[in-house]
Amino acid sequence: MPVEVIMPKLGMAMKEGTVSQWNKTEGEAVKKGDPIASISSEKIEMEIESPADGSVLKINVPEGKGVPPGTVICYIGNPDEEVAATAAPVQEEKGQKEEIQAAHPAPPPKKPGKARVKISPVARKMAEASGIKPEDIIGTGPGGRITKEDVEQAIASAKESRKQDIPVQAVAEEPQRIPVSGMRKVIAERMHLSLQSAAQLTITMKADVTELLALQTQVKETIAKRYGSKLTITDFVARAAILALENHPEMNSAFMDNTIVTYLEIHLGIATAVEKGLLVPVIRHAESKSLIDLAKEIKEKAAAARAGKLPADEMQGSTFTISSLGASGVEFFTPILNPPEAGILGVGAVSDEAVFIGDKIEKRSRLPLSLTFDHRVLDGAPAAAFLQTVKQYLEEPVTMLL
């Protein structure tokens, strides 16, 4: 009896899964454990393995098609087995439209009458000899008649075009059209919803992280020996943000149903770039973790997200998010809120700058910070106070260790 391969439910919030790519075709032999397809949900991409030895008897869901969890996407069995007739494949919308059109064919279009081209006999012979259609020539004679001079002008223009060596087919090339599905579809929907539904404003500051970088270098060897890890700028920023959220709980809030909801716990989202988009692993109860524990969990969850192994449940429920583009050399930017959160902190690249310290100019390392907040939840002054607190912790890094 054929074995059903179903679209798995990758997390409680999953509503739809998409077959990104079929690795096997109908009739192709497979072994148990062979990757037969790549699937994607709102937050996860993974491969589906064959549950048994045999052949792919029928593919029910085409590539790029989204279906609910539990839908049979294909059947595995012996080559001589037949799939029940009720197991009809999921049809693409295009196919359905073609069936409707076949059942109700449109009447053939009326052929327009061929317009008569006015052209002198000499001009016609010249055009035919040069391979130019009279229909393509604009006549300047009486009543739009094409003259000898018009053909000569058309021949000269054609020669000039050939000299430029511009391939005609390149102009007519169709652009590549990629259907939006899976992770990219969810990112598009959520970011558009975020900008439509929240009153977003971004403010910026620079933090002097000269002492922080010195501390990072000082403890590097000890951290590596004792914990087998290292502390990054993101780890320090995360710790500073958590401490600042404790001092400014209004930033650890959300706007929902005309109500401001302020959370008692801090669940920190860390925006993580993956191959096909962006995921946000969540560090739950971040306020209860030490700097070392925080750093280890950030690295572990980011690695799992990039490998496609982080469960969807661990990418939900954040109360505040950090997004870093420092590795890409970006300074200030405008991070978009992760709905329904009231704040997201953007972290840029550290750069060395000449700064006045008293009457002297010194070389200092400065870190750009960009805070986007929901103006429905809090105003500019409290948002600036929060960012100032983050800046203060980063400029006095020892206070984050106490």
Active-site annotation, residues: 375, 379
Instruction: Please check whether residue 294 is in contact with residue 235, taking contact to mean a CB–CB distance below 8 angstroms.
Output: yes
Compute how many other C-beta atoms are within 10 angstroms of the C-beta atom of residue 377. Answer: 22
Q: Are strands 320-324 and 268-270 parallel, antiparallel or unpaired?
A: parallel
Query: Taking the C-alpha atoms of 275, 277, 278 and 281 in order, what is their torsion angle to the nearest 10 degrees?
Result: -60
Q: Which two tokens stand for residue 232?
A: 């990054």
Q: Which two tokens stand for residue 290?
A: 């030490």
DSSP H helices, 280-400, are: 291-306, 380-395
Beta bridge partners of 343: 373
How far is residue 368's CA from residue 394's CA, in Å, rounded to a whole number?
Answer: 11
CA distance from start to end of the chain: 65
Beta bridge partners of 259: 256
Return the sign of the alpha-carbon dihedral for residues 368, 374, 377, 381: positive
